[in-house]
């Protein structure tokens, strides 16, 4: 009974697979979706089965694969109707020129194209084909028709194609498809909100080869930006140097002064500033144009204070909500409350970075949200914490 209940609560995704060489990437897509605990339904075209057997996708997707419009056995369920019922998302990957053409012209000559016509929602297409086929006027006209009807496309990438030429036609990578798919399934409760999120460290140059920075990975800020983007916000991420990938509008900076200037460009029109970045409090008083040479004596490096970004924008705000972070190693609540009051923040997210699972470079956090009230949160993923923070808006 519990298993059935959990299955009913899972998001349901219908994956349509057509016959293109990019189909091999869809195996990874299946794996990623299963690991995220989505309930997959899969339809393969007859051409797709020429590339990979249905058994492989049944194993990877942990589900039955449907392909035949007419088959032996009972037809008590009309499959092209039943498979699109109660689904949360429908994606075609790879979407070949042939299938895009059929979809745009109402041709329903197999199970997948019939299911497409029976579905009354927006379908996500991930095209994959030769660049000449993609750029052909017929394909472009068909894509525009589908977009006009409200369907969405994940743009094909430029790279080496199966025909051994380089061009635009590579199906997007699974790691890029999953966030777009998740965005489609997320309630857009932050639509029309303009949110600035900052993330990562700042870098203060000493000379051309050395700098001061900190251990911030940017994971918390990127998680907030991603969830805001999925929830329909007009989000701008301003990021220091990280190894993370962004699927939403992002500006990149290095120094604390650059971060403040970049926020200032967008602050007046914003509804909220969520300051998850870890800007350096100090910078070298002198920045050397040439590499400092090692000498047989100590080097004294004089530092000067950087501007306090949140203090600056607290003095500028009119309608904006300001949310800051307090990453502390001692006296957590006392230090966080002082910071909140001093910087006129609406909320401060306090975390003791000495706790296991709450420091830098991890995917979890343990926090206390301090606003008018205090809410202590247990260990959770940074994605879940991001949603709790965005709920404050």
Beta bridge partners, 201, equal: 278
Distance CA(51)–CA(362), nearest Å, equals 39
Residue 379 tokens read as 């260990």
16 phi and psi angles, rounded to 5 deg: -100, 125
CA dist 390 to 345, 349, 365, Å?
Answer: 15, 12, 15
- Encoding tokens for residue 342? 């001093």
DSSP, collapsed to helix, strand or coil, labels residue 305 as strand
* Dihedral angle over CA of 283, 287, 291, 293, nearest 10: -80
Catalytic choice (163, 286, 303, 338):
163
Count CB neighbours of 389 within 10 A.
25
Q: What is the DSSP letter of 267?
A: G
Is 163 marked active-site?
yes
Q: Which helix (H) or strand (E) holds 304?
A: strand 303-305
* 62 φ, ψ (degrees, to nearest 5): 55, 50
Q: Which two tokens stand for residue 173?
A: 């990578």
Question: Which of 321, 326, 310, 323 lies closest to 367 in space, CA to CA?
Answer: 326
Q: Dihedrals φ, ψ of 176, to 5°?
A: -90, -25
Catalytic residues: 163
């Amino acid at each position: 009974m519990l298993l059935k209940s959990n299955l009913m609560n899972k998001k349901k995704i219908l994956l349509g697979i057509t016959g293109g060489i990019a189909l091999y990437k869809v195996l990874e897509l299946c794996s990623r979706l299963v690991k995220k605990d989505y309930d997959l339904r899969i339809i393969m075209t007859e051409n797709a089965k020429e590339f990979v057997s249905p058994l492989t996708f049944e194993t990877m997707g942990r589900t039955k694969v449907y392909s035949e419009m007419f088959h032996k056995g009972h037809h008590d369920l009309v499959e092209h109707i039943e498979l699109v019922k109660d689904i949360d998302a429908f994606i075609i990957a790879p979407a070949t020129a042939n299938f895009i053409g059929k979809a745009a012209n109402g041709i329903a000559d197999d199970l997948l194209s019939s299911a497409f016509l029976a579905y009354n929602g927006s379908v996500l297409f991930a095209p994959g084909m030769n660049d000449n086929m993609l750029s052909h006027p017929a394909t472009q006209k068909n894509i525009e028709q589908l977009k006009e009807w409200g369907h969405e496309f994940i743009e094909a990438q430029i790279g080496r194609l199966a025909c051994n030429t380089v061009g635009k036609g590579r199906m997007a990578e699974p790691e890029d498809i999953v966030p777009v798919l998740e965005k489609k399934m997320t309630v857009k409760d932050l639509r029309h909100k303009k949110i600035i999120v900052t993330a990562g460290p700042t870098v203060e140059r000493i000379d051309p080869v050395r700098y001061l920075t900190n251990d911030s990975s940017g994971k918390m800020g990127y998680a907030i930006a991603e969830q805001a983007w999925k929830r329909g916000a007009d989000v701008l991420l301003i990021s220091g140097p990280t190894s993370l990938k962004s699927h939403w509008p992002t500006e990149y900076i290095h120094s604390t002064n650059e971060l403040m200037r970049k926020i200032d460009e967008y602050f007046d029109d914003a509804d909220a500033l969520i300051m998850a970045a870890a800007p350096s409090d100090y910078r070298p008083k002198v920045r050397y144009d040439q590499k400092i040479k090692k000498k047989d004596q100590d080097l004294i490096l004089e530092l000067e204070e950087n501007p306090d970004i949140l203090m600056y924008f607290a003095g500028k705000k009119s309608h904006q909500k300001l949310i800051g972070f307090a990453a502390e190693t001692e006296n957590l609540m006392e230090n966080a409350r002082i910071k909140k009051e001093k910087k006129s923040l609406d909320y401060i997210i306090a975390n003791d970075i000495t706790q296991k699972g709450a420091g830098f470079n991890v995917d979890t956090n343990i926090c206390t949200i301090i606003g008018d009230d205090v809410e202590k949160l247990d260990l959770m993923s940074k994605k879940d914490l991001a949603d709790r923070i965005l709920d404050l808006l």
